[in-house]
Chain A
Amino acid sequence: MKEIIVIAEHRRGELRDITWEMLSKGRQLAESMGADLGVAVLGKGVNPFADALKSKAKRVFVVDDERLEVYNSETYEKVLMQLITERKPSLILVGHTATGMDFAPSLSVRLKMPLATDCIGIDVNGEDLLLTRQLYGGKINASVSFLKQGPYMVSVRPGAFPVVEKETLPGEIVYIPSPLTDEGLAKRFIQYVEAAVGEVDITQADILVSIGRGIKDAENIPMVKEFADAIGGVLACSRPVVDKKWLPKGCQVGTSGKTVKPKVYIAIGISGAFQHVAGMKGAGTVIAINKDPKAPIFNAAQYGIVADLFKIVPVLKDKVKELRK
């Protein structure tokens, strides 16, 4: 029997959303491939995770070892090498996350297994898989196939696949002995560090006015801040603005920043990379202003304005001030 194995992702005592997304997609693929669905969970004291996962898969492979208390690519690779060599799955699903991006490429080399990264579509095409990836920051989609015969490894973009509820599976828990020893590691975990919290908590705002790369220069930020003030909104931003040190990390909306749920989110000069959209899709209403009519942000918005932000924002500010008098 063929098998698909999902590598569960967890951090600081919680299974991450990508795990459920991969299991949901994995279930659908298992059905169309006539395969069993398995999930592997590595960690220390992970029985609660195994219990939570067991209704979603036919088998839950548990590797419990105190050396797996925190993620480390070195230990993960050793454990997964053994597990995968033993089980011989035809497909492995990994999250295209900070964790998956760190261990999947090297594991694929060790296993001599082709890897397709950051996939947003996985379709079964006879014996082959047809994958969908994005190029050029999401402006173009590509259909991609593997050149060699399987088994394959696919890393899955977070948020690409919805979690669909289905009838429960038997979920046999299979304990796998850990191959790890006290042998020294070339990479040693020290600690987690939280980003500093900003002066203003953007997660609490009803109205967020968010700027992106289109703002072009730090000098242009006060203009947008004035507009935000005029509507009682809070200023936020996408990644490029923080990378350039124009606004603090606490203002950043997106995968590596904050997840926000304002009533209204106004995206100004933000192209709409998926990492950004992932952080704002909980917004009630999204208004996007961008000069590029093809900007992906318009797919994540309810209202769109194609305009030069430097022309429209001052008018918006003046008009709102006048109307609120």
Chain B
Amino acid sequence: MNIIVCIKRVPETTDADVFVDKSGKDIDKSGLVFDLNEWDSYAIEEAILLKEKLGGTVTVLSMGGEDSNESLRKCLAMGGDDAIRLTDPAFDGSDGFATAKVLAEAIRKIPFDLILTGTQAEDDGYAQVGVVLAELLGIPHAALVNRIEVQDKKLKVHRELEGGLEEVFEIDLPAVLTIQTGINEPRYVSIMGIRKVAKKEIKTFGTSDLNLKTEEVGFSGSHIRLEKVFLPPVGEGAQMLEGKPEDLALTVFNILKDKGGLT
């Protein structure tokens, strides 16, 4: 089975202090560490597990600048066979729709049976690229997939719904699946592993290679425009408890007694 995985390199903001930058349209990323988008790490792992079971190839695709090579190499070190970076100044400012257009044009050049993407990206959280991509390519899709079983020319997939419920579908190949976190346990990549793929060629494609006009991508090819970003309004918020750990413990104990019926 030949699989294409679409990935993105994103800043890690879970534990970081986040500030709005001077443009007012993004955060200040200067002090942030970047890594492979969490959902995508499950998507690439799932592709490699399928390859290990069934043979075939895993091609990793990412739209982004040279920095994205780092995440592409991580995917190669995990077991990907080829990496392609889609890069062009014209791609800057692409929203989820424009990004999917670029990916679709690149994918038309590559033979495949299955495309995996993360369900969403940690940074912009659109949760739309994979499903838009499927429609642009005219193939079926399923979003939020947390289990895949391969059958002959079709897959049995589980979609994660709300409240612990799952929906099981049969889907014909080729197809696009957007992968939910928790579907597998992404393998660890050692520094040695990264070094081994450090010299591997990463192909690049721009608009001229992809049968795309510059106005179809980037800001002009997008559907939505980001006007400004701001820190979320703080609601009433919590009453912040301060003091020595022992005093805090006493306060917590009293809250538990008062509100939780602790004796």
List A residues at the B interface (Cβ < 8 Å): 11, 16, 70-74, 96-99, 101-106, 108-110, 114-118, 130-131, 133-148, 186-195, 206-207, 213, 231-232, 239-240, 242-245, 249-250, 252, 255-259, 262-264, 266, 271, 284-288, 291-292, 294, 296, 298-299, 301-307, 311-312, 315-316, 318-320, 323-324
Contact between chains at A106 and B134 (CB < 8 Å): yes
Instruction: Give chain A nearest CB distance to B93 CB in angstroms.
Output: 11
Among A96, A187, A194, A303, the residue within 8 A (CB) of B255 is A303
Instruction: Give chain B nearest CB distance to A245 CB in angstroms.
Output: 6
Among B162, B225, B237, B253, the residue within 8 A (CB) of A255 is B162
Contact between chains at B235 and A299 (CB < 8 Å): yes
Cα distance A126–B245 when bound, in Å? 53
Contact between chains at B96 and A117 (CB < 8 Å): yes
Cα distance A11–B182 when bound, in Å? 24
Contact between chains at A136 and B141 (CB < 8 Å): no
With A73-B141, A287-B255 as contacts: A190 and B168 at CB distance below 8 Å: yes
Among B128, B231, B261, B263, the residue within 8 A (CB) of A140 is B231
Cα distance A298–B231 when bound, in Å? 14
B241 within 8 A of A: yes
B211 within 8 A of A: no
Cα distance A263–B67 when bound, in Å? 48
Chain A residues positioned under 8 Å from B30 (CB to CB) = none
Interface size on B, residues (CB 8 A): 85
- CB-defined interface of B88-103 with A at 8 Å, one 1/0 digit per residue? 0000000011000000
Interface residues of B in 11-55 (CB under 8 A from A): 11, 13-15, 17-18, 20, 27
B191 within 8 A of A: no
Among A98, A249, A285, A298, the residue within 8 A (CB) of B143 is A98
Please name the 4 residue pairs, one residue from A and one from B, whose CB atoms are nearest each other, closest first: A304-B238, A319-B249, A114-B223, A195-B164
Contact between chains at B18 and A193 (CB < 8 Å): no
Cα distance A103–B224 when bound, in Å? 19
Among A98, A106, A319, the residue within 8 A (CB) of B161 is A98
Instruction: Give chain B nearest CB distance to A110 CB in angstroms.
Output: 6
The winner among B11, B141, B167, B235 for most chain A CB atoms within 10 A is: B167
Chain B residues positioned under 8 Å from A307 (CB to CB) = 245, 248
With A186-B172, A231-B256 as contacts: A303 and B125 at CB distance below 8 Å: no
Cα distance A311–B182 when bound, in Å? 29
Cα distance A195–B261 when bound, in Å? 31
Instruction: Give chain B nearest CB distance to A271 CB in angstroms.
Output: 6
Contact between chains at B182 and A243 (CB < 8 Å): yes
Cα distance A144–B126 when bound, in Å? 12
The winner among B144, B168, B182 for most chain A CB atoms within 10 A is: B182
Instruction: Supply 19 further A-B pairs (C-beta < 8 A) apart from A96-B127, A143-B226, A285-B260.
Output: A101-B144, A109-B136, A117-B126, A118-B126, A139-B231, A187-B169, A188-B171, A195-B164, A232-B262, A239-B182, A245-B182, A258-B163, A259-B163, A263-B261, A294-B18, A299-B238, A305-B248, A312-B245, A315-B245
Among B11, B224, B230, the residue within 8 A (CB) of A146 is B224
Among B128, B168, B172, the residue within 8 A (CB) of A115 is B128
Contact between chains at B240 and A304 (CB < 8 Å): yes
Chain A residues positioned under 8 Å from B158 (CB to CB) = 193
Instruction: Give chain A nearest CB distance to B22 CB in angstroms.
Output: 15
With A105-B135, A148-B223 as contacts: A299 and B237 at CB distance below 8 Å: yes
- CB-defined interface of B205-242 with A at 8 Å, one 1/0 digit per residue? 00000000000000100111111111111110111110
